[in-house]
Every structure is written in structure tokens, then in C-alpha cells.
Structure 1
Amino acid sequence: MTRPLLFVHDQAEWGRSYGGVADWLGRAVTAAAMNVHTLAEPGAFQLFGLQRLLLALSSSAYLLNLLCFVFAVALVAVAARRLPVDLTLYAAALALLPAFFGSKGDPLMGLPRYLLAAFPLFVALGTLLKNRSLLTAWVAGSALLSLSLVALFVNWYYVA
């Protein structure tokens, strides 16, 4: 017997519970605001070496999760205008469903990792990046973000 909604019942195993989008997004915005406050401290980016920079970047994980969620919602809106309905619904389900289930400590925990499976979002992004200069800017920004995340990962910081 197949149980397609088994993941809904097993969320408690991971310390997650259903709280509704408004509840978890409110918590995510609060956590991201705390991250911005941490990053805005006067000594956050002083030249204390790579360790201090990695600490500042790793403390912004909540902010990264929230930005990824906002970006995914924007891409779902683009998909709704440019892609077939079935791909849009698939992308919306994969992108928005994790926002319904969160933990008290990290409301959007693992969201960037979940978004990697939402391939229609990448198709929608591809429709936006037809312009060569936009594509170049996107690749440069993605490379910088990727290098930052790799630096965190190889130094045993939590990434996603």
C-alpha cells in the first residue's frame, strides 16, 4: 500500500510540526532579522581572518533560508505566467510545502536543499536569463555564493 502523504505524518520525527505558513514565516522573518542584526554589528567583518568571516556567514543561515523562500515564491509566480499549469503546480508544491512544516529553532530548515528538486523553478529562471548580461551577473553571483557555502562546509559549519 502506498502512502503519498507519509512525509506529513513523519514530520514529528525531525522535530517539526504543522504550524501554517503565517506562523512559520513570522518566525522565519524574526530569525532573519536577528541575523541581519548580527551581521550589522561593528566588528562583524573586521579583518580577523577567515574564521571570523566564516562565523559571520554561518550566522546568516536563517536569512539565507528566508531569501531562498522569497526567491522561490517569485519564481513560482514567473512559472505561473510562462510555464504549463502542471509544471507550475509541481513547482509550487515543492517550493511552498516546506513552509508549512518547521521547527521552533529553524522555521525554514533545509529549504534551499529542498528547492533543488523543484526543476520547474530552474526552467522559469532560464526564461528570465535570456539576456546575456543578466546571465553573466547571475553566474557571477552564484559562483560567489557557492564559494562562500563551500568555505563554510569544508570548515564544518552548517550550510543548509
Structure 2
Amino acid sequence: MNKLLSIAIVLILPLSACGKEPAVSTLPDPVPDQEMFSSEEGLSLVLDEDSFVGSPSIIKTLVRNNSSSDYQLGEFYHIEVNKDGQWYIITYSDAVFLKNPSFKDYGNVLSAGSEARQNFSVDALGVTLIPGEYRLVKTFISIGEPMHELSVAVPFSVE
């Protein structure tokens, strides 16, 4: 009887695991900034597309600086996923930074009154976005004193 029960459990467990939806890997705790906007203090982020069929390989963006100050920015973005009404940062290998040394928050200047196009590579992170709600987060660093960071976020969906 125990042998029959063991066989039944071994056969049923893989079937129940097939019913689970795949998930993206995230940090265990939700982000502290649950409410973020696409524009803050004159800095804004716009996506060329906000809905994708399947995981996008590239997300094309436009960053604008309508403030009166210059800001630093780099190629770095991060992605957050909405799970049960809360935003969580998607994790990926630290090797991303070794493969792309320019994947950082600084290095370029976005002058007051200017804009720039940037392409963010999801493929370079080595992640696949499953269907769900996401937001792309971009951080800017002030050049003048007092120095401060400012982040903006734009939601998008994957179907």
C-alpha cells in the first residue's frame, strides 16, 4: 500500500508543477517607492511602445530634460514587475555589469532643455519577461550642488 501511495505521489507531483505559471525572479521585498511617475522635476521618460506580445528584446525610450539643470544619466535601467498589486525589482546576474561596463547610472549628460533616445536591452539582462504588468525605471543624477538622484518610471505590459 505504501509503495502504491509513493508511486501515485511521484506521478501526481510533476502534473501539479505543470499547472504553476512561470515567474520572473525578483527581490523578496517590494520596492519602497510603490508610486512613481513618468515625469519628475522636469525629467521624463517615454516609451515608443507600452505593450508587447512576448518578451521584448529591446525597449526604445526617449528621455527629456525640461528642467533648468543638467543631469547625468547612463545606459542603466531596471525593470519592476507588479505582483499582487506591489512592485518588485526583477533580478539578473551581476555578469551583466562585466559584459557591459557602460551599464551604469552616469556617464552622459542630459543638458537642460534637451532630449535623448536610448535603447534598453532586455536580452542583455538575460531575462525573459512573462505576461504581466511591468515598469521601466530610469535614474538621473544631478550635476550641481546639492547632488541628488531622481527616478522616473513608465508602465508597460507583456502579453
TM-score by length of 2: 0.26
Q: Which has the higher helix share?
A: 1
TM-score by length of 1: 0.26
Q: Of the two, which has the highest radius of gyration?
A: 2
